[in-house]
């Protein structure tokens, strides 16, 4: 078959949906591309200064935090997942989902709460004085070690969730086989469970590392310089956008490197236990004393990662309620909810369009192209914010100039520094969050059903609304909910892109904390946690199903 044939086929197979897919992918990948291109544009004037004095510090700190958090989240996450899926003990079922709950607290909020606990005159001091008047209970955690501890306590659920999913669904038969062969519990864990669960566990770990790199609030508050705080510093304090962009580009390349490692490790060890094991694991029963031991052991991460910080926040909220609850706070809360809801809705619309336009596009390679659009989730919010800033600023300037010369209109900035720019950035960052549930729902339904509809003479649009949409509803709702909560929690991206006068709950909490009004930060924080708990429960249901 010659080139003529290929071109004819390309012509025949290119339809509206091919173009829609390409446009959507470009729309979403644009900020990422913009940052990437700036790698080649060269750094700004102060770059030499940054390289000599700041960059080594950024790198050492970011890498140390990533390694420290990896070790801690792995130990907490894998052990607790192993215990809940292997042993029977009192309150196991409750603890099983409580272990996920720390995910509902953004790490910067956990950081604020612990800072308050360990501070002079904080809860620990009060507690210590209550028992022993000579001690002041001061322990300095506002450093890199404290930060590692805080981040690990709030991020270990990523490892826990993925480890537990493998332990529960895939391994019970293998564990039993190993036990029948007379291998000890200890050896079974290290020889069978850990190697087989590795791809999934590392998948969870990569999420932890990405969240660590994404973190701004906690690192900033604890005074630790990382890549992300560095981007902020060059952007706002040094007013050196070129440096910020260059740092972003380097960070993005690092993240892509991390993702490739993850892919390779998955491909190399692509074990799959194909036996669809639906029988539940028969959990081991130990002596009563040991059982309570396990219960307490598994309870520790829940206690430290959720109950203590939330307790501290509630205490603060009660202290400061009179000063913080006024109409402006309600406005902030409503703004926050409104922006998150609108952006979540927009994200889901784009996700649906993307998934179905890819499906309806006859051209097969388009499917690979469309997957580019879900890369945003891996990239730190600050980087995406910078990426949105560059092209929208240019576009606004161009629009302004043309409108001025053509109609002598002065409209100001249309996208940059407006809610539109902010929502655009949210969509880029959280597209994958909605993409996964919608896509897996669509895959579960399969394409046969919509093909039947087409063959019955009903066109694509009607097929979509009458057949596909009703059937993927669940995925759509869960996608929307997950994005909504992620946006409510989001801090670094919002800080950079929020329009003047617009404040979200996350930004409000950050502002209070930065102004040394940490107790006042509790109310917006608690509101964010409350909205976050719903989907954690929901997510847990999806996994156990």
Which residues lie near other proteins (CB under 8 A)? 1, 5, 8-9, 11-13, 362, 446, 448-449, 451-460, 463, 467, 470-471
Within 13 Å, how many C-alpha atoms sit on residue 222's CB side?
32
Within 13 Å, how many C-alpha atoms sit on residue 229's CB side?
18
Structure tokens that stand for 62 in this block: 């970011």
Find out whether 159 and 208 touch, Cβ atoms under 8 Å.
yes
Residues written for the chain: 545
Helix (H, G, I), strand (E, B) or coil at 284: strand
- Residue 168 CA to residue 151 CA, distance in Å, equals 26
- Residue 221 CA to residue 106 CA, distance in Å, equals 14
Element (H or E) spanning 87, and its range?
strand 87-88
Q: How many other CB atoms are there within 10 angstroms of residue 134's CB atom?
A: 6
Structure tokens that stand for 264 in this block: 């390779």
- Residue 323 CA to residue 333 CA, distance in Å, equals 16
- Residue 498 CA to residue 519 CA, distance in Å, equals 24
Cβ proximity to other proteins: between 133 and 545 the closer is 545
DSSP-assigned beta bridge partners for residue 88: 285
Closest C-alpha to 313, from 121, 118, 525, 467:
525
Cβ proximity to other proteins: between 296 and 362 the closer is 362
């Amino acid at each position: 078959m010659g080139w003529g044939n290929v071109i004819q086929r390309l012509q025949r197979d290119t339809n509206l949906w091919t173009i829609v897919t390409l446009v959507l992918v470009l729309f979403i990948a644009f900020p990422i591309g913009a940052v990437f291109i700036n790698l080649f544009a060269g750094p700004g004037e102060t770059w030499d200064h940054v390289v000599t004095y700041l960059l080594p510090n950024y790198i050492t700190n970011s890498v140390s935090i990533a390694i420290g958090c990896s070790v801690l989240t792995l130990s907490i996450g894998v052990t607790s997942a192993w215990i809940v899926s292997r042993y029977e003990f009192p309150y196991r079922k409750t603890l099983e989902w409580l272990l996920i709950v720390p995910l509902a607290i953004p790490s910067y909020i956990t950081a604020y709460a612990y800072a308050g606990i360990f501070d002079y005159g904080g809860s620990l001091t009060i507690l210590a004085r209550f028992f022993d008047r000579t001690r002041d209970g001061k322990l300095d955690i506002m450093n890199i070690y404290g930060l590692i501890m805080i981040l690990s306590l709030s991020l270990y659920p990523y490892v826990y969730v993925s480890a537990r999913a493998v332990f529960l669904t895939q391994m019970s038969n293998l564990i039993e086989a190993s036990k029948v062969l007379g291998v000890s519990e200890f050896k079974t864990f290290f020889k069978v469970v850990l190697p087989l669960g590795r791809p999934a566990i590392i998948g969870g770990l990569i999420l932890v590392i990405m969240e660590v790199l994404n973190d701004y609030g906690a690192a900033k508050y604890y005074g630790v310089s990382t890549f992300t705080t560095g981007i902020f510093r060059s952007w706002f304090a040094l007013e050196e956008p070129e440096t910020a962009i260059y740092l972003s580009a380097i960070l993005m390349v690092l993240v892509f490197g991390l993702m490739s490692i993850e892919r390779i490790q998955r491909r190399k060890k692509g074990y799959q236990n194909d036996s669809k094991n639906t029988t539940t694991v028969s959990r081991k029963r130990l002596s009563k004393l040991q059982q309570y031991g396990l219960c307490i052991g598994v309870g520790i991460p829940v206690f430290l990662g959720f109950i203590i910080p939330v307790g501290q926040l509630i205490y603060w909220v009660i202290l400061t309620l009179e000063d913080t609850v006024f109409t402006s706070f309600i406005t902030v809360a409503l703004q926050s909810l409104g922006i998150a809801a609108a952006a979540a809705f927009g994200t889901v619309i784009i996700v649906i369009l993307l998934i179905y336009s890819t499906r309806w596009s006859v051209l097969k390679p388009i499917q690979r192209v469309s997957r580019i659009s879900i890369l945003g989730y891996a990239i730190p919010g600050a980087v995406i914010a910078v990426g949105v800033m560059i092209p929208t600023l240019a576009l606004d300037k161009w629009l302004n100039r043309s409108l001025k010369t053509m109609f002598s209109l002065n409209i100001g900035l249309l996208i940059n520094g407006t809610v539109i720019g902010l929502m655009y950035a949210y969509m880029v960052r959280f597209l994958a969050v909605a993409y996964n549930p919608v896509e897996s729902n669509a895959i579960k339904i399969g394409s046969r059903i919509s093909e039947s509809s087409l063959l019955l003479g009903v066109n694509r649009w009607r097929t979509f609304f009458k057949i596909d949409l009703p059937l993927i509803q669940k995925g759509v709702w869960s996608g929307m909910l997950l994005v909504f909560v992620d946006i409510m929690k989001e801090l670094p991206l919002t800080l950079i892109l929020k329009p003047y006068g617009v404040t979200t709950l996350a930004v409000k909490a950050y502002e209070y904390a930065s102004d040394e009004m940490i107790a006042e930060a509790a109310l917006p924080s608690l509101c964010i946690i409350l909205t976050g708990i719903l989907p954690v429960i929901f997510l847990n249901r999806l996994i156990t199903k």
